[in-house]
Amino acid sequence: MKMHLHSAIKGLWFNRWSTLLSIISIGICFFIFTGFFLLLYNVEIFTKKLSTKAAIVIYLKDDTGRTEISSMIEQLKKMGVFSRIQYISKDEAIKEMKNLIDPALIELIGYNPLSDTIEAFIKEESLQNIEQITKNIKKMQIVDDVYYPAKIIVGLKTIRVTLWNLAIAGFCLISIAILFIIYATVKSFYWKKTEEIEILKLLGATPSYIRFPFLVEGGIIGLGGTIFAGILICLVYFVLHSKSFSEFLPAVTQIEFPVEIFGLLPVLGMFLGIISSFFALGKIKYQ
């Protein structure tokens, strides 16, 4: 193991310029990769926040009694799909309305045109069943009509799905690019060591013995790439959070940054490095 590591490090140092170039290229790929991830992560958080603010508004029939309203609220609670249920009487509603519209205009109507309503805030995990939930509520006796922000929810869904598809395509393309860079680098190292490898084959070295230093080299290149990407990410993070930048664009500071990514990136880098090195070497033949 120690000997293989030594051999791999020696090999990388011998080819230091191509190694450095690969690490930088892979680092940039991982940086873009992380950018995609952060975009997706933040969109997820944003859509979740927004969707939990979306409520189903249940308009109740006129002259619905207090007991019926209480029993309906109980029924809604039992459904287990709402995080918060709020009853707003028609009197309270008109009071609120008077804050928004000129009270004189309302007085002109001569009566309270609003209905008693229940606002039910749907739980995030139940959001996908909102249509069915609404249908079920509509069937209830005291319900006059039900409204939910369908356009917003469908819009958010579309944005999420599109971003996920884009991100998956991006991840795949970047992963392929990373694999290809490491593949080409390790393949060139392998060709440079043809004579050395031929000697090892003559001495009875097994394919795994021959492969191991190259796998280590690939792993180190992948790891180096992620370290480089990590440095870039940190730089960008500090620039975005710098006083001058955040004053100019305060929304930037709201971007969520999961630090776990610093643990995951090196593992992913090493994994991709080892995999691509394995394929770069192909089958070791003795003939």
Return residues touching other proteins (CB under 8 A): 3, 196, 198-207, 209, 285-287
Question: Is 137 within 8 Å of 56 (Cβ atoms)?
Answer: yes
Pick 61 or 192: Cβ nearer other proteins: 192
Min dist. Cβ of residue 263 to other proteins (A): 34
Q: Which is nearer to other proteins, 90 or 201 (CB)?
A: 201
Token reading at 38:
């952060």
Which residue, among 16, 19, 23, has the nearest Cα to 228 in the 3D structure? 23
Strand intervals (E) in the chain: 55-60, 82-88, 117-122, 143-147
> CB–CB of 142/69 below 8 Å?
yes
Minimum distance between the CB of residue 217 and other proteins, rounded to whole angstroms? 18
C-alpha distances (whole Å) from 65 to each of 79, 101, 145, 219, 250 are 22, 28, 17, 71, 49
Nearer to other proteins, 172 or 199 (CB): 199
C-beta of 284: minimal distance to other proteins in Å? 8
Q: Which is nearer to other proteins, 140 or 205 (CB)?
A: 205
Q: Which is nearer to other proteins, 151 or 285 (CB)?
A: 285
**Rounded least distance, CB 22 to other proteins, Å:** 23
* Beta carbon of residue 270, minimum distance to other proteins (angstroms, whole number): 24
| H-state helical runs in 80-139 | 90-100, 103-109, 130-138
